[in-house]
Chains A and B, each alone.
Chain A
Amino acid sequence: MKYVYRKLMMLLLLWFSLAGCDGEGTLLDLYPWEPIVNPEVRMLIQDNQIIHAQFSERSHISGITANGNFNTGDRFTSFDFEPLAWQGEGLLEFGADLAVRVVPDESSFSLLYSGDRGKTWNDHGRPIPDPEDQVLGKISPVKLFVGAENLIWLLCRQRVGGERRLLLYEVNVAEGTHKTLLKKQGALALTAAAFDRQNGWVLWRNPSVDRERVQLLKTIDGGRTWSDGATLPRMGDPLMGVIDDSNLLVFGETGGAFHSTDGGATFQTVATDMGVIKRCQVVTNHVIYVLAEDGRLGKSTDGALTWNPLEAQSGNTLVSGSKMNFQNERRGIVYDVDRMFLTEDGGAHWNVLIYPYDYVFE
């Protein structure tokens, strides 16, 4: 019996060893998997970078890269790409259907605008600064604001002797006109924003008088008259978010955030717990999104009174970016030069549309 058992075991071992053949690949290779992003998006981020993206129709996303323009209606499952060398020098800002840039030249600057995503650029033509201002010293654009109905504000600095000077212009590219809204001596221009053609604000400070304070100016009549608003703590590169003609947000570079409900006369400190805010988009009077310097997204649903950093993640990929575009309070994209994320539910869930996964570059 022991002999039979030994023979049987030897036969079994021999038999099983025959089963150890050389196959091709592994069983796991037959297990299905799907790439999260279309690898074809490599043309948007390999030796290229996303410059601007926005919703162009109901669910279409169009945008500009350094090497051309793209458009997709199916979340980049397929997309059109039109090669185009992007001319991006100068101060750049995008409106709903207008791209505007201000290009410095030897004595002043030129304002160019495009209604076809940078394919053609039109020169505003006429010199924007008054000739008598130009002779006083070089005028440097510091902030370009493109608001609703293609309202364009251009905020500039000028050094006149040893003193700073603030200049604010409104440009109407449709009519080919512009006008000076504000000239202020002894003011270092910081930023400006408008709610409409009547209501707007300018932040400035006077470094020779008070380096620690930032002043606010407000107009309610399209720049004909300006009134002083609140004084804020020093902030080097402030960001303004306009909710309506009386609700205004100011984000400082040290992480401080201020909210005014009286058109800038007074401000209350609000806590975003987000660090330095670099982007702010007011979607409705209640829903406001902000992007922090580290790429995190935050949201307020009560008109900026309280803020919640969104724990935004898609799979194992952290949602982050330096720019965003929300079509409404639920649908929006967050993007950077090499990535793009989409939410359809106000930031609770995200889809990765573009991301530099390894296979994208293979």
Chain B
Amino acid sequence: MRLLVLRRIVWMILFSLAVLPLRGQQSIPVYLEGEIGVDRFGDGDVRSVFPAGAAFRLGAAFALADQERLRLRPQGGVKFFGNTIDEEVTEQLLIIKGGVQVSYDAFFLGRTTFFPYLAVDYNWVSNFDMESYGEDDVSYSENYLRGTGISEEVGLRVQVSDWYVKAGYELFRPRLRVRQSIVDDDLTSGYVTPPSHPFRFNTVNISIGFSIRP
């Protein structure tokens, strides 16, 4: 319950910040930011299935209050985890994300600037197989698991010139629904399978990215 209230407060703050730039768009500096990174699950069981994943994010950061040190970045991105089952089949975990990130130009050392940040994303999760029997013969299975959820991420960004390195920890516990045919098959085989189950998808991530002013 407390987590739900906290989430609502964070969303309200981020929404308020998001509409601020609309009032004076012409006077607010906007940065185009993109990053790629590596993600690793915190939960050992999930990590044993997907040892590492790749992440990609893109957003437009608006420099706001306090002498443009506060940055608000509406963003979108994907996280991808693969697990090679055999030569032809790879299990995929795809997380599509959309949300906002708030960062603050806290301090600098020489040319290096340090940005603590907080991000909240809405996530669409799908787990499926990709079967590949050649370059032109690729097919995808139905989702085994799918679901949505909100994630929160905290971290630190270290920026030099237009480039930055970012490290963060994301809290994400989506409730995934299993495909109904799997529930039915399990039942026929003598197993009771719940229709949904929460997964601990907390991740540690490290990214490199750019921040340019077009």
> Would you give the shortest CB distance from B34 to chain A, in whole angstroms?
8
**A33: contacting residue among B49, B54, B91, B193, CB under 8 A:** B193
A315 CB-CB contact with B under 8 Å: yes
Q: Could you give 22 example pairs across A and B, Cβ below 8 Å?
A: A15-B54, A19-B53, A19-B80, A19-B81, A20-B82, A20-B83, A21-B50, A21-B82, A26-B85, A26-B144, A30-B49, A31-B145, A32-B194, A33-B186, A33-B191, A35-B190, A36-B187, A316-B187, A316-B188, A355-B190, A358-B190, A359-B190
Query: What interface size band does chain B fall in?
Result: 35 or more
Main secondary structure of the interface of A (DSSP, over half): mixed
Contact indicator A30/B52 (Cβ below 8 Å)? no
Centre residue among A11, A19, A357, A358 by max chain B CB count within 10 A: A19
**A28: contacting residue among B81, B84, B144, CB under 8 A:** B144
Contact indicator A30/B45 (Cβ below 8 Å)? yes
**B192: contacting residue among A24, A27, A315, CB under 8 A:** A315
Cβ contacts under 8 Å, A355 to chain B: 190
Interface string of A1-41 (1 = CB under 8 A from B): 00000001001100110111111111111111111110000
Contact indicator A20/B192 (Cβ below 8 Å)? no
Contact indicator B52/A18 (Cβ below 8 Å)? yes
Query: What interface size band does chain A fall in?
Result: 20 to 34
CA distance A35 to B194 in the complex (A): 12
Interface string of B16-53 (1 = CB under 8 A from A): 00000000000000000010101000000110111111
CA distance A11 to B189 in the complex (A): 45
Given A31-B145, A316-B188, decide whether A23 and B193 contact each other with a Cβ distance below 8 A: no
Chain A residues 251 to 301 lying within 8 A of chain B, measured CB to CB, are none
CA distance A7 to B199 in the complex (A): 35
Contact indicator B191/A27 (Cβ below 8 Å)? no
The interface of chain B, by Cβ under 8 A from chain A, is 34, 36, 38, 45-46, 48-54, 56, 80-85, 90-91, 93, 127, 144-145, 176, 178, 182, 184, 186-194, 197, 199
**For chains A and B in complex, what number of residue pairs have CB atoms within 8 angstroms?**
113
Cβ contacts under 8 Å, A358 to chain B: 189-190
CA distance A26 to B197 in the complex (A): 15
Contact indicator B48/A25 (Cβ below 8 Å)? yes
| Identity of the chain B residue whose Cβ is nearest the Cβ of A356 in the assembled complex | B190
Contact indicator B91/A27 (Cβ below 8 Å)? yes
> Would you give the shortest CB distance from A33 to chain B, in whole angstroms?
4
The interface of chain A, by Cβ under 8 A from chain B, is 8, 11-12, 15-16, 18-37, 315-317, 352, 355, 357-360
| Identity of the chain B residue whose Cβ is nearest the Cβ of A22 in the assembled complex | B84
Centre residue among A12, A23, A28, A359 by max chain B CB count within 10 A: A23
Contact indicator B54/A25 (Cβ below 8 Å)? no
Centre residue among B50, B54, B182, B190 by max chain A CB count within 10 A: B190
> Would you give the shortest CB distance from B129 to chain A, in whole angstroms?
9
Cβ contacts under 8 Å, B189 to chain A: 357-359
**B199: contacting residue among A12, A23, A30, A352, CB under 8 A:** A30
Contact indicator B83/A22 (Cβ below 8 Å)? yes
CA distance A16 to B38 in the complex (A): 9
> Would you give the shortest CB distance from B197 to chain A, in whole angstroms?
6
Cβ contacts under 8 Å, A317 to chain B: 187-188, 190
| Identity of the chain A residue whose Cβ is nearest the Cβ of B93 in the assembled complex | A27
| Identity of the chain A residue whose Cβ is nearest the Cβ of B193 in the assembled complex | A33
CA distance A317 to B83 in the complex (A): 34
Cβ contacts under 8 Å, A25 to chain B: 48-49
Contact indicator A32/B197 (Cβ below 8 Å)? yes
> Would you give the shortest CB distance from B214 to chain A, in whole angstroms?
11
| Identity of the chain A residue whose Cβ is nearest the Cβ of B188 in the assembled complex | A316
CA distance A357 to B83 in the complex (A): 30
Given A31-B193, A32-B194, A359-B189, decide whether A19 and B49 contact each other with a Cβ distance below 8 A: no
Contact indicator A18/B190 (Cβ below 8 Å)? no
Contact indicator B49/A26 (Cβ below 8 Å)? yes
> Would you give the shortest CB distance from B193 to chain A, in whole angstroms?
5
Cβ contacts under 8 Å, B53 to chain A: 19
